[in-house]
Structure 1
Amino acid sequence: MVDARVLAEEAERWLGDPELPANTVSFARALELDEREELPADGVRRLRAFGFHRYFVPAAHGGALRSCEELLWLSRVVARRNMSVAVSESTQLWMMLVWIGGDAAQRARALPPLLRGEVVPCLAYSEPGHGADLAANEFLALPEGGEYVMNGSKWPINRGASSTHVVLLGATRADAAPDDVSARRRQSLFLVEKAAVASGRVEGMPRVPTYGLRGCDISGVSFEEARVPASARLGAEGEGLELALRGLLVTRTFCTGLSLGAGDTMLRTVGGFLSRRVLYEGPASRIPYVAESLANAYLSLLVAECVSLVAMRGLHLYTEEFSIWANLAKVEVARLVDHNGKVLARTLGARYYMREAEHQGVFQKMLRDAAIVSVFDGSEPVCLDSVALQLSSMVKARRRPREEDWSALYDLRAALPEFEPARVAVFGRGRDATFASLPALCERLAALAPSPGCGEERLAALRSLAERLRADVEALFTRVAEARRRPAGRAPHPAAAPGETAATATAAPAAAAPATATATAAAATTKTTSTRLIRLAEECCALHAKVAALGIWLYNRDHLDAFFAEGGWLQAALAREQVHTYELGELDEEIAARLCARLQAQHEAGEFFSLRPVRQAAPGAREESGIRQGPPGGPHLP
């Protein structure tokens, strides 16, 4: 069984202490590049020397990725230091589309340069006039003489100008207008190597100044009469939107690692500063208001980790069910971390507002940078819209209870099958393993015997909260059924193309607002998902997170430490009305004290804020030199 934490600790040693300015991926360097709005090229090269790029290729295809949790932890390791580096290099994940939709020849062609670290891909889906409404895209990739002739622009995208390869959507039929009912079958997906374009022009567009990620290449790419070989097309002609959505389901899930990394540094920065700051004759962290804020922020990170871990395991075990799952995980983890950022900024006080070249500046950068996760790879409204449009299918799927052994999903020691990205489906028919496991989790909880730290009183509280959770889930789907019966709750969709269901047709990202100056508020729109359903989708995300936390606790309490096994943290999480938000005075004082003690202990031990011990780089540790020879347990695969 692969233990991703071993890889995380090796990456920590490789990159060294981010507090040491001389290290390539240090806080000081991150702030310096941010001020200059400069791409962190040295940081990216540092990751390539470690072999980071090899973990974007599943081991079954010749890469180093054996467990999706490995990539989750690697993302956390890098993102906690510099989100600009993490986001710049994470575009490698788009090459996953080769394993999803490519044929054997395309995979064989892509693999060698990928493993050599010679590929810098960008995702070119969005266009200036259409935003998230991919079906309305106007970029043309018309077949001609065994090639495709490409014309149009993609913007704004990450790595648009500095990429070597472009993964793009283009219309391969010019006879259907973008708003035609057949628009979904006019788009195809391409992997274009810029240097291999036979004729015409491919150019990067100017960088866009951004609120966060100031060192990233957020720009665009334009094509003019650019000819590419037919072998650049991934999948069948007209299959582009479906492949695009399948790829997004994978990347949305992995986005959670970026949030966890940024969230760790925000809490570590604020908690460390306030524990050293003396106010009212004692550490500021001991002030009740501050202590409870820090405890709640720590709890939110633990819940976010539960959501991420269960999702990563689900990618191996329930790959076909991610049309809903990926959106639920991305939305809730980003919400947990984003709300933490707001609370921590308020707790930090005036120092949050000062731009100083010390830890407060690091906090500000992380606060700005972490905000991107809820925006890219499908913004929060887009993800919620996708969930909302599949809620009725979830109601139908729930009529067929599932009797399964859920241990592989929740037991962090359980072996996992190989990750097969090609199995990701654009529509999972409403199935969701996490919600389906809830009855069995409640039964397992009911059978637990009291243990040290988790006596009858704690067990009774947990059982009551778990039953309330089950009732909330049932109530949610009852309201979904009612909302779908009301005319105001219906989201009329265009007729599905042949072979599509209404759900697959509408799983595409939501339409952007009209971009023309002549558009009016009264203009018609095909995106009519009711706000009632969007609200239900939000509740679905929060309840899903609680079930994930319950499952992780039940299947791991016998082998993790006393803090985890006691279950006070779980009790506090299940007691929250909305799991990502919290108010002062709601947290039990005893549980708050245990959370603060655990937070301080992991901080002093140099560990990630995590349910399990994972060591960060030692204080003052210099980065390792040279080229890393291979992952733990053996050399890289060829």
Structure 2
Amino acid sequence: MNNSSIALAEAFEDWLGDPAVARNSLSFSGALELDERDELPSAGIDQVRAFGFNRYFVPERLGGDLRAAEDILMLTRVIARRDMNVAVSESTQVWMMLAWVGGNAEQQEKYAATVLRGGVVPCLAYSEPGHGADLAANRFTAAPDGGQYVLTGEKWPINRGRTSTHVVLLGTTGDENTPAKRLQSMFLVDRSDIVSGEVTGVPRVPTYGLRGCDISGIAFDGARVDASARLGEEGEGLELALRGLLITRTFCTGLSLGTGDTMLRSVAGFLSDRVLYDGPADEIPYVTESLAGAYLNLLVAECESLVAMRGLHLYTEQFSIWANLAKVQVARLVDFNSKVLARTLGARYFMRAAEHVGTFQKMLRDGAVVSVFDGSEPVCLDSLALQLPALAKAHGHTPDEDWRRLYDLRAELPAFEPDRVSVFGRGRDATFASLPALIDRLAALTPSAGCDADRLAGLRGRAEEMRHELDALLARVQEVRRESAGQPAQPSASAKSTPTGLIRVAEELSSLHAKIAALGVWLFNRDHLDPFFADGEWLAAALARRQVHHYETGDLDPSASQALFTRMSSQRAANTFFSIRPTRLAEPGASEAGPDHTSNAA
């Protein structure tokens, strides 16, 4: 396994201390208090920065510590389990990666040095009040003028719009004769380098969750910047924007894993201490199975996330499909948990008490944003739907590969190169392509004490069902297209005409993708992880679900329910992440590192 990413997460846990300790900067109680006041968690942000979080967004070749995509996943997970306001506020560091995607050598050296000095607060200024996710409709102008650009317009809603030091934005540089896809260019603007004109913050927006974040906007009025602020060529902005979003959508999974961990940990802890009907509430069969189902969702979400992080290294050009699949499905796995856990918690879900139940409510509100930003779920599904014909065409034409590096968590990876991300992956997806090889590997397994012949037979049957499902879904793509072509055009003023049948196929594929990822992780790691993982009872339960994120009361076999519940309870007692791998949390009662400490990142 990638021990370096686990060690990094554990060092960060120690640095931040136990979130149950109120005096720590990223404590649960402190986060709730700041949330009630809609206040930016400045002390928590400072503690994260002191660790050197910013360094993990700068490649090693430029002097930073970005070695593995999984490092960012794990660091984000550590912050998000404490306070999403801090995680979302500081994860804007990822937008400086657009310099590594589209900048020239001089720009990359300049911005790397700036980030590594610390104090950079970037924001992503794509959205405009009248256009939302329709970036091609933007009207913000960046008029070329004698080696400079004059920026005029408003971007909203933006995370860190008012408090940013650097702004990544799209501006129209073309004219009426320029093709629509080449109208906009991308700029990385240091607000301290504005030559003339005005840049002002747009007031904050009250939000359902992330109440401590600076969700606001930014307005430019004749603001002049040097031409060196432009990333890439004129007219390349929309393509660069989409390439960057493919990276950030993948990293969003760390936010979901962090909030999902705390929601389950809070509810499980509360119910284990609560006595009802002469016994612990978590021993009521309905409660036990609900917690077990939620735990299983987190295991599947982690498998999908880990495989995606490895894919960023190995199959970088394929992420036009993969990023959307991972973001949609991991968010769904955690969002469905939030509904089940709220129902299981009962009346306490509605009470804003200063205890872990209040933390659950906050995580539920804050975590819901993952399915909304960096491309909402409908936007991601639409992007998937548009690429389904290419995916169907490429299906079955993948040459034989050794999939070990993708799934074996111990296998070494090449450097992560963000500039290799492509806006169109030509229908390729390594996870789907690996399924025949995974089925062959599964067929070669021999029964063991933990995974007997019956379970192996069951897993082989489920894997074959997945193969048939994938074939059927991709065949359905052509059917939907023919049906849509044969239908009379419906009157509509919208240019967005993606058939809903393709959206449904995209949803089904997202679920199937996560199942295949879980199967691959199990097959290539069962010889070195613990008996619970190796036995595969959890995997059998996951593959048995129609939609992998969705579960109902009575779905789990009682033995599987008890095994999952017992494993969850043991990880909670051992103070480790809910995970397929042992990853230690901060010691109970531990204080955060003080100013006299030096982090591993220094």
Alpha carbons 2:139, 2:172 under 8 Å: kept: yes
* Aligned residue in 1 for 2:358: 361
* Aligned residue in 2 for 1:377: 374
The one-letter code sitting in structure 1 at the alignment partner of 2:531 is A
Structure 2 residue corresponding to 1:198, chosen from 195, 199, 202 = 195
The one-letter code sitting in structure 2 at the alignment partner of 1:106 is Q
* Aligned residue in 2 for 1:146: 147
Alpha carbons 1:50, 1:627 under 8 Å: kept: no
1:170 aligns with 2:171: yes
1:551 aligns with 2:551: no
Q: What is the CA-CA distance between 1:343 and the residue it aligns to?
A: 0.3
For residues 627 and 186 of structure 1, do their structure 2 counterparts lie closer, same or farther at Cα, with a shift above 3 Å needed?
A: farther
* Aligned residue in 2 for 1:596: 565
Q: What is the CA-CA distance between 1:111 and the residue it aligns to?
A: 1.3
Alpha carbons 1:169, 1:241 under 8 Å: kept: yes
The one-letter code sitting in structure 2 at the alignment partner of 1:581 is H
Q: What is the CA-CA distance between 1:526 and the residue it aligns to?
A: 1.2
Query: After the TM superposition, which residues 39-188 of structure 1 pair with which residues of structure 2 at under 5 Å, given as runs?
Result: 39-175=40-176, 182-188=179-185
Alpha carbons 2:385, 2:505 under 8 Å: kept: yes
Supply the distance in 1 between the matched residues of 2:257 and 2:338 (Cα, whole angstroms). Answer: 12
Q: What is the CA-CA distance between 1:432 and the residue it aligns to?
A: 0.3
Supply the distance in 2 between the matched residues of 1:351 and 1:598 (Cα, whole angstroms). Answer: 25
Alpha carbons 1:249, 1:322 under 8 Å: kept: yes
Alpha carbons 2:239, 2:423 under 8 Å: kept: yes
Alpha carbons 1:49, 1:627 under 8 Å: kept: no
Supply the distance in 1 between the matched residues of 2:91 and 2:487 (Cα, whole angstroms). Answer: 37
Supply the distance in 1 between the matched residues of 2:269 and 2:380 (Cα, whole angstroms). Answer: 35
Supply the distance in 1 between the matched residues of 2:234 and 2:274 (Cα, whole angstroms). Answer: 62
Alpha carbons 1:60, 1:418 under 8 Å: kept: no
Q: What is the CA-CA distance between 1:183 and the residue it aligns to?
A: 1.4
Supply the distance in 2 between the matched residues of 1:578 and 1:386 (Cα, whole angstroms). Answer: 20
SS of the residue aligned with 1:127? Answer: coil
Q: What is the CA-CA distance between 1:591 and the residue it aligns to?
A: 0.7
* Aligned residue in 2 for 1:480: 477
For residues 326 and 489 of structure 1, do their structure 2 counterparts lie closer, same or farther at Cα, with a shift above 3 Å needed?
A: farther
Q: What is the CA-CA distance between 1:3 and the residue it aligns to?
A: 2.2
Q: What is the CA-CA distance between 1:627 and the residue it aligns to?
A: 6.1
Structure 2 residue corresponding to 1:609, chosen from 555, 567, 578 = 578
The one-letter code sitting in structure 2 at the alignment partner of 1:119 is V
The one-letter code sitting in structure 2 at the alignment partner of 1:3 is S
Q: What is the CA-CA distance between 1:626 and the residue it aligns to?
A: 2.0
Q: What is the CA-CA distance between 1:485 and the residue it aligns to?
A: 2.4
Alpha carbons 1:57, 1:64 under 8 Å: kept: yes
Supply the distance in 2 between the matched residues of 1:480 and 1:137 (Cα, whole angstroms). Answer: 31
Query: After the TM superposition, which residues 518-597 of structure 1 pair with which residues of structure 2 at under 5 Å, given as runs?
Result: 523-597=492-566
Q: What is the CA-CA distance between 1:402 and the residue it aligns to?
A: 2.4
SS of the residue aligned with 1:201? Answer: strand
Structure 2 residue corresponding to 1:281, chosen from 278, 282, 289 = 278
Alpha carbons 1:83, 1:366 under 8 Å: kept: yes
Alpha carbons 2:50, 2:599 under 8 Å: kept: no
Supply the distance in 2 between the matched residues of 1:345 and 1:488 (Cα, whole angstroms). Answer: 44
Alpha carbons 1:142, 1:174 under 8 Å: kept: no
Q: Deviations over 1:218-249 (max 9, x none)?
A: 00000000000000000000000000000000
The one-letter code sitting in structure 2 at the alignment partner of 1:596 is F
Alpha carbons 2:102, 2:231 under 8 Å: kept: yes
Q: What is the CA-CA distance between 1:491 and the residue it aligns to?
A: 13
Alpha carbons 2:252, 2:370 under 8 Å: kept: yes
Q: Which sections of structure 1, spanning at least 5 residues, go unmatched?
A: 493-520
The one-letter code sitting in structure 2 at the alignment partner of 1:471 is H
The one-letter code sitting in structure 2 at the alignment partner of 1:42 is A
For residues 233 and 491 of structure 1, do their structure 2 counterparts lie closer, same or farther at Cα, with a shift above 3 Å needed?
A: farther
Report the aligned-residue RMSD. Answer: 1.5
Q: Deviations over 1:248-302 (max 9, x none)?
A: 0000000000000000000000000001000001000000100000000000000
Supply the distance in 2 between the matched residues of 1:478 and 1:103 (Cα, whole angstroms). Answer: 43
* Aligned residue in 2 for 1:470: 467
For residues 295 and 2 of structure 1, do their structure 2 counterparts lie closer, same or farther at Cα, with a shift above 3 Å needed?
A: closer
Alpha carbons 2:257, 2:302 under 8 Å: kept: yes
Supply the distance in 2 between the matched residues of 1:400 and 1:443 (Cα, whole angstroms). Answer: 17
1:16 aligns with 2:17: yes
Alpha carbons 2:187, 2:229 under 8 Å: kept: yes
Supply the distance in 2 between the matched residues of 1:295 and 1:12 (Cα, whole angstroms). Answer: 25
1:621 aligns with 2:590: yes
1:336 aligns with 2:337: no
Alpha carbons 1:313, 1:409 under 8 Å: kept: yes
For residues 212 and 538 of structure 1, do their structure 2 counterparts lie closer, same or farther at Cα, with a shift above 3 Å needed?
A: same
Query: After the TM superposition, which residues 400-411 of structure 1 pair with which residues of structure 2 at under 5 Å, given as runs?
Result: 400-411=397-408
Alpha carbons 1:2, 1:66 under 8 Å: kept: no
For residues 357 and 59 of structure 1, do their structure 2 counterparts lie closer, same or farther at Cα, with a shift above 3 Å needed?
A: same
Alpha carbons 2:123, 2:158 under 8 Å: kept: yes
Q: What is the CA-CA distance between 1:557 and the residue it aligns to?
A: 0.2
Supply the distance in 2 between the matched residues of 1:442 and 1:361 (Cα, whole angstroms). Answer: 45
Q: Which sections of structure 2, spanning at least 5 residues, go unmatched?
A: none
Q: What is the CA-CA distance between 1:489 and the residue it aligns to?
A: 8.5
Alpha carbons 1:546, 1:579 under 8 Å: kept: yes
The one-letter code sitting in structure 2 at the alignment partner of 1:449 is T
Structure 1 residue corresponding to 2:247, chosen from 245, 250, 259 = 250
SS of the residue aligned with 2:196? Answer: coil
* Aligned residue in 2 for 1:504: none
Q: What is the CA-CA distance between 1:628 and the residue it aligns to?
A: 5.5
Moved over 6 A (4+): 489-492
SS of the residue aligned with 2:151? Answer: strand
Query: After the TM superposition, which residues 415-494 of structure 1 pair with which residues of structure 2 at under 5 Å, given as runs?
Result: 415-488=412-485
Q: Deviations over 1:48-69 (max 9, x none)?
A: 1000111111223221121111
Alpha carbons 2:188, 2:231 under 8 Å: kept: yes
Q: What is the CA-CA distance between 1:76 and the residue it aligns to?
A: 0.6
Supply the distance in 2 between the matched residues of 1:429 and 1:534 (Cα, whole angstroms). Answer: 19
* Aligned residue in 1 for 2:234: 237
SS of the residue aligned with 1:251? Answer: helix
Q: What is the CA-CA distance between 1:113 and the residue it aligns to?
A: 1.8
* Aligned residue in 2 for 1:508: none
The number of residues matched between the two structures is 601
For residues 490 and 20 of structure 1, do their structure 2 counterparts lie closer, same or farther at Cα, with a shift above 3 Å needed?
A: farther
Supply the distance in 2 between the matched residues of 1:489 and 1:622 (Cα, whole angstroms). Answer: 66
Alpha carbons 2:260, 2:334 under 8 Å: kept: yes
Query: After the TM superposition, which residues 284-303 of structure 1 pair with which residues of structure 2 at under 5 Å, given as runs?
Result: 284-303=281-300
Alpha carbons 1:491, 1:528 under 8 Å: kept: no
Alpha carbons 1:248, 1:377 under 8 Å: kept: yes
Supply the distance in 2 between the matched residues of 1:208 and 1:491 (Cα, whole angstroms). Answer: 42
Q: Deviations over 1:565-593 (max 9, x none)?
A: 00000000000000010011111111111
The one-letter code sitting in structure 2 at the alignment partner of 1:573 is A
For residues 583 and 488 of structure 1, do their structure 2 counterparts lie closer, same or farther at Cα, with a shift above 3 Å needed?
A: farther
Supply the distance in 2 between the matched residues of 1:488 and 1:239 (Cα, whole angstroms). Answer: 32
The one-letter code sitting in structure 1 at the alignment partner of 2:375 is G
SS of the residue aligned with 1:579? Answer: coil
Q: What is the CA-CA distance between 1:490 and the residue it aligns to?
A: 9.6
SS of the residue aligned with 2:144? Answer: strand
SS of the residue aligned with 2:354? Answer: coil
The one-letter code sitting in structure 1 at the alignment partner of 2:165 is T
SS of the residue aligned with 1:141? Answer: strand
For residues 274 and 548 of structure 1, do their structure 2 counterparts lie closer, same or farther at Cα, with a shift above 3 Å needed?
A: same
Q: What is the CA-CA distance between 1:2 and the residue it aligns to?
A: 5.5
Supply the distance in 2 between the matched residues of 1:380 and 1:361 (Cα, whole angstroms). Answer: 27
Alpha carbons 1:141, 1:151 under 8 Å: kept: yes
* Aligned residue in 1 for 2:212: 215
